[in-house]
Structure 1
Amino acid sequence: METLISVIPVYFFIFLGLTLKKKFKERIDEKSYVILSFYFLQPILVFWGLTRAPIDYAFIMSPLIYLYAVFSVVIVILIISKKIFKDSKDRTIFIAVSLVGNTGNIGVPLGIALFGEQSVPYTSIINIANMFFIYIFSVYFFAKDSFTIKKSILSILKLPGLWVALFAIIINHYQVPIHKDISKILQMGAYAAIVIQLIIFGVYLSELKIKAMNWKLSLHISLVKHILLPIVGVFFVLHSDLNSYVASVVMMQFMVPLAVNNVNLAALYNCKPYDVTASVLVSTVIFSALLYFYIHLIKYFLGDF
C-alpha cells in the first residue's frame, strides 16, 4: 500500500498539466515547457544526481548493467522494426522510445518507497545512464529523419545535458566540495525538472483522442518495455556480482513505464508527439497494473528488501 501511495504525486502533476491545458488551451504553449525542461531544468537534474554520492564499484556497475541490458534489446528491436512497421516515423518511435524508462520521475520516488533514501544514489546514476541513452541513441534516431547524419551528430553535441554530465563526473571524481546552499538550489532545480516533466505529459495528454490512438505502435512498445526488457534485465542482474540490495534497485529500474522525456524529443523533432504521448499513457497504465507483481518478482529472485 505504501508503494502505491508513493506514486500518487506523479499522477497528481500529470492531472494538473491536463487540467491546465483544458482550461487555458492556446494560452498554454507546450513547446515552451519542453524547451525550459530539456535545455535548463534537465541539466540541473543531471548534475544533482551525479554529485549525490562518491563513485564506488556498485555506483559504476549499476548503470553499466542497466545499459548492457538496454543495448542488448536494442539489437533485437533494430532487427524486427522493419518487419513490424512500414511507416518510417513509426519505426523511429518504436526504436527510439521503447527502452527509455521513467527512471527519474517514477524510479527515484519508487526507489525511496521500496528501499529507503539510501537507494537515491543508485536510482540517480541509473537515471543519468538512461539520459545518456536518450541524448545519444534516441536523439540520433529522432533527428535522422529531419537531418543528415552529420547534423544529427551535431544536434547531439549541442545538448547541454551531455556536457553537464561530463562536468559533474569530473567534480565527483576529484571530490570537489559543493556548498550546502548551492546543493539546496540544485535539489530545487532537480525536483522542478521532475514536476515540469509530468505537467508536460499532462498537457499533451489533454489533446489525446483515444479513438485516434496508434494502438499497434503503443502495444508493441509496451511489449518491449514491460516484457522483453525486464526479462533481459533480470538475466543481467542475476549474473552480476552486485549485492542483493543494489541488484533489487537496478531490477526495479528496468520495470518503470516509459519516460515523459520521449514526448519532449518527439515534439522537438516533430515526430508524432501525440502518438508518443499515447504510448507513454498505455505504458503507465500497464505499469500500474503490473506493479504488485513486479515487486513480488524482485522478492522472488533477490529476497526481501
Structure 2
Amino acid sequence: MLQAYINIFAIFALMFLGYFLSYKQWFNNQVADAFSKLVLNLALPFNMFLNMTENFSRDEFLSLFSGMIIPLLSMAATFLISLLYRRLFHISKTRQGTFSTMFTCSNTIFIGLPINLAVFGEKAIPYVLLYYIVNTTFFWTIGIYTMAQDNPEIEQQRLSFHPVVLLKKVLTPALMGFIIGLLWVMTTRPVPSFLQNFGGYLADLTTPLSMFIIGIIVYSNGLANLKFNKDILGVLIGRFVISPLIVWGLGFVFPVPALMLSVFMIQSSMPVQNSIPILARNYQADEDYAASSLGYSVLLYMIYIPILLKIIL
C-alpha cells in the first residue's frame, strides 16, 4: 500500500512540474497540443501493443472481454442518474448537457492510465483499455450530443454522427495498437527485438507527457479562475461517489477477476475529461463551468485517490 502511495505521489509530482514549467513559460497550450499528439498517436499505441504482446497469451485474452459488461452498464446507469440529478437539483439549463457528460465520462488515459500503472503495474493495462473503449465510444456519441444541447441556437443537423466520422473517433491509434497487439498474440509469434526496443522508448513517454499535459491545462485555466458552485459539486459527486459505487455493485452481479474490478473502479472515478472545456467552447456551451469542473476534479483527486485505494485494496 505504501509503495502505491509513493508511486502516485510521483505521478502528481510530474503534474506539478508541468504546472511549474508552464508558470516559467517553458510550456504553453501549443506544447500541450504537441504532447497530446505524441501520447495519443505514438507513445500510447506502442504502450498498448507491447503490453498485449508481453503480458498476455491467446487463452488469457479470450477471457478478457467478458468483463466489458460492467463498464457498459455502469456508464449507462451513471448517465441516467445524471439526468435525474440535474432535474432534482435544478442544474442550469445552459449546463445540463455538459453536466451529464462530465458526470458520466472519465479521464481514462491522461490520468487513468498513469494511476493504474502506478498502483497495479503493467498487468492492469488491458483492463484500462476495456474501460477506455466504452468511455471513448460514449463520450464521442451521447456525451457530445448532450453537450451540444446546451446551446439553444445549435442546428440539429450539425449533431448528426456520420458512421465514418464516428469510427475515426472510436478507432483511435491507441485502440489500433491494442488490436494489432491482439492479432500478434493470436499468431503466437515473438515480437522482433528492434520493435520491442524502439516501441519501448516511445511507450515510456506516456506517463510523464500525460501528466505534463494535465499540469499545463490546470495552469492555463488558472487556479484563481476556478469558481465553485452546486453544479460543480454535482459533477464531483458523480465522478467520485456514484460512478465507482455503481461499478462496485455490478461486481456482485457479474463476477470478474479482482484486479479487473479494481481497475474499473479506479477508471470510473477519474477526474473530468481534459478535452471538455475545448469542446464546450466549440459548441458554445458554458466553457467556464467546464474548466472549473475539470480543475476542481483534478486537484481534489489527489486527496480522493488515497481514500479510494484504502477501500479497494
After TM superposition, the score normalised by the length of structure 2 is 0.75
CA contact (8 A) 2:8 2:118 kept: no
Please list every run of 5 or more consecutive structure 1 residues that lacks an aligned counterpart in the other structure: 300-305
Deviation (angstroms), 1:68:
1.3
2:104 is paired with a residue whose SS is coil
The answer to whether structure 1 residue 202 and structure 2 residue 215 are counterparts is yes
Amino acid at match of 2:218: L
What is aligned with 1:275?
289
What is aligned with 2:40?
42
Amino acid at match of 1:68: L
CA contact (8 A) 2:48 2:125 kept: no
Separation of aligned partners in 2, 1:248 and 1:96 = 23
What is aligned with 1:85?
91
Deviation (angstroms), 1:185:
4.9
What is aligned with 2:158?
151
What is aligned with 2:276?
262
Deviation (angstroms), 1:220:
0.9
CA contact (8 A) 1:63 1:125 kept: yes
What is aligned with 2:55?
none
Worse-superposed segment, 14-23 or 190-199 = 190-199
Figure out how many residues of one structure are paired with residues of the other and give that number: 295
Taking only the aligned residue pairs, the percentage that are identical comes to 16
CA contact (8 A) 1:43 1:161 kept: no
Question: Residues 138-217 of structure 1: matches in 2 within 5 Å?
Answer: 138-143=143-148, 145=151, 148-152=155-159, 153-154=161-162, 157=165, 160-164=168-172, 167-168=176-177, 171=180, 172-173=182-183, 175=186, 179-182=192-195, 185-186=198-199, 188-189=201-202, 192=205, 194-206=207-219, 207-210=221-224, 213-217=227-231
Separation of aligned partners in 2, 1:150 and 1:191 = 42
Over 3 Å counting, the alpha-carbon distance change for 1:266 and 1:32 in structure 2 is farther
Deviation (angstroms), 1:127:
2.7
Separation of aligned partners in 2, 1:139 and 1:184 = 38
User: Deviations for 1:185-218, whole angstroms, at most 9, x for unmatched residues?
Assistant: 5555555455444334333322425465142232
Deviation (angstroms), 1:154:
4.1
Please list every run of 5 or more consecutive structure 2 residues that lacks an aligned counterpart in the other structure: 53-57
Worse-superposed segment, 176-185 or 247-256 = 176-185
Separation of aligned partners in 2, 1:180 and 1:276 = 45
Separation of aligned partners in 1, 2:304 and 2:77 = 23
Question: Residues 215-226 of structure 1: matches in 2 within 5 Å?
Answer: 215-226=229-240
Separation of aligned partners in 2, 1:82 and 1:161 = 30
Question: Residues 13-52 of structure 1: matches in 2 within 5 Å?
Answer: 13-24=14-25, 28=28, 30=29, 33-34=32-33, 37=36, 41-44=39-42, 47-48=45-46, 51=49, 52=51
2:133 is paired with a residue whose SS is helix
Over 3 Å counting, the alpha-carbon distance change for 1:272 and 1:186 in structure 2 is farther
After TM superposition, the score normalised by the length of structure 1 is 0.77
What is aligned with 2:113?
108
What is aligned with 1:232?
246
Q: Alpha carbon RMSD of aligned pairs, Å?
A: 3.6
What is aligned with 2:65?
60
Deviation (angstroms), 1:225:
1.0
